[in-house]
Amino acid sequence: MKYNPIQTYTWVPLTIQEEGENLINIVKAEGEFVTDSEGNTWIDSIASWWTMIFGHRHPALVAALKTQIEELDHIMLAGHIHPAAESLSKSLLELTNFDFHKVFYSDNGSNAVEIALKLAIQYYQNHPDLIPRSEFLVFSNSYHGDSIGAMNVSGKNYFNRIFSDLRFPTKEFPAPNCMNCPWGKVANSCSTECLDDLESEIKQKDYVGIVIEPLVFGANGMLFYDKKVLVKLRELATQTHTLLIFDEVFTGMGRLGEVFAYQKAETKPDLLVMAKGLTGGMLPLGATLVSEFIYKQFLSKDPYRAFFHAHTMTGNPLACSVGYASVKLLQETGLGQVKKLEETLQKRVEPFQKTLGKRIENVRVMGGIFAFEYKETIAEDEYLNPVGKQIREKMKEFRILLRPLGRTIYITPPYNIPEKSLDQIFLALEQTLLSFPESD
Ligand SMILES: Cc1ncc(COP(=O)(O)O)c(C=O)c1O
């Protein structure tokens, strides 16, 4: 059965209520597939918003969940600890080779970002030798979530413009974009000119932190940029005593071909935020990884220096045990699979470009991301560009679930997606796009 959103009891997010979109009623899932209530099977080409990196209901995650539910469902984490949280925390810190010292749990990416922001602000409050600060440096094409704080450090756009009066102060800079460098530079000639303005700003005024999605700005256009940018930001942050915060909600857990983007970029942040892939797409979970030097400023008997932040379901044992199983899978097979997926996607770039010619531009691959732009003559950019929805609707005819970001089309399949399903996705993309006009 297909539902119109205004006929459902549920308020479906990111849906224009009166537009009359048909909602697909999903009742089952396995691997890269989901099945609707009419028995049709679909390929979930974006891994349910980038979460189910090993496919839906992976047996190892299901087994972890079943084992855990037989033991302990939930216990509030204040005043308690449990083996599932401890196992996951230890494994996450091991994944970072102990670049970080503590793991603070929450239940989604936005909250994990909020926690990083609050920890950063309080770090300066607690530090006996540093002057408190309250402003963050942020980037135009960034997306860090929909809660007020996470929205505040995201780029200003149509998503959050209505709430601009609620903004705490941030200083926004154009997002680095190595696909179409505004300075006309390429890798060899680049001296991170895109950071010149930020450099002069950060040297004049005290900021709490720089908040950035490392190597890829995801939700705002799958923009790729070079690790040079992160190296330079690290240098500036260290020089000026500013904290560097990497939001790895999307890029973490292998999506870019390494466990973390910061490892790929060989640039360590002071706080690291993760969610999405960590959940394996099964239960809500977020984590904020904290460097030792930050944690030390909270080591005090003084209650005013303690970090007062908790969510009711923080560190839920079921979510943690699924998270732990995800980490183990990533280590055992996942990372190899995503590297292989990257090679496969790379091989598809040339024939794809050849078939679609001038209809598309900026075809790009990093790890398990394949993205490109539909070349549009209408200058309406961003998410609201209607072409994204038209392409999404057309893809439904091929039973492929896709969520373009305006004219940016991408797939982020599970790392273990079989070639056969990739073939289906690419065939559908080609046939869909061939039915759209070619630009001059
Ligand atoms: C980089 C990044 N940070 C934070 C978030 C917010 O995560 P959540 O939707 O789990 O709150 C997202 C969601 O897409 C994201 O891509």
Find, among 384, 403, 411, the residue nearest to 24 by Cα: 403
Is 376 inside a domain boundary?
yes
What tens digit of pLDDT does each residue of 95-119 get?
999 999 999 999 999 999 999 999 9
Q: Considering only 160-164, 299-303, 415-419, which range has the smallest mean pLDDT? A: 160-164
Q: What is the mean pLDDT of residues 55-75?
A: 98
Cα separations in angstroms, 321 against 94, 331, 401, 432: 16, 15, 28, 40
Is 440 inside a domain boundary?
no
Check whether residue 324 and residue 357 sit in a common domain: no
CA of 194 to the centre of ligand 1 (A): 25
Expressed as residue numbers, the domain containing 121 is 60-329
What tens digit of pLDDT does each residue of 291-327 get?
999 999 999 999 999 999 999 999 999 999 999 999 9
Check whether residue 20 and residue 71 sit in a common domain: no
CATH, residue 205: 3.40.640.10
Is 439 inside a domain boundary?
no
Check whether residue 342 and residue 302 sit in a common domain: no
Residue nearest to ligand 1 atom 8, measured at CA: 109
Q: Is 213 in the pocket of ligand 1 (CB under 6 A)?
A: yes
Contact 338, 367 (CB under 8 A): yes
Check whether residue 323 and residue 341 sit in a common domain: no
Q: Does position 385 have pLDDT exceeding 80, yes or no?
A: no
Is 86 inside a domain boundary?
yes
Check whether residue 64 and residue 150 sit in a common domain: yes
Residue indicated by tokens 């531009």: 361
Q: Is 110 in the pocket of ligand 1 (CB under 6 A)?
A: yes
Q: What is the mean pLDDT of residues 147-163?
A: 92
Return d(Cα 14, Cα 389) in angstroms, integer. 12
Number of domains in the chain: 2
Amino acid letter for position 416: N
CATH, residue 392: 3.90.1150.10
Contact 234, 196 (CB under 8 A): no
Average pLDDT, rounded, for the chain: 95
Residue nearest to ligand 1 atom 7, measured at CA: 109
Q: What is the mean pLDDT of residues 86-94?
A: 98
Q: Does position 379 have pLDDT exceeding 60, yes or no?
A: no
Q: Is 212 in the pocket of ligand 1 (CB under 6 A)?
A: no
Ligand 1 pocket test: pick from 115, 143, 153, 279 the residue with the most ligand atoms within 8 Å of its Cβ: 143
How confident is residue 4, by pLDDT bands cut at 50, 70 and 90? confident
What tens digit of pLDDT does each residue of 320-371 get?
999 999 999 999 999 999 999 999 999 999 999 999 999 999 999 999 999 9
SS3 240: helix
How confident is residue 188, by pLDDT bands cut at 50, 70 and 90? confident
Answer with the one of 295, 311, 329 that is the final residue of a domain: 329
What tens digit of pLDDT does each residue of 223-262 get?
999 999 999 999 999 999 999 999 999 999 999 999 999 9
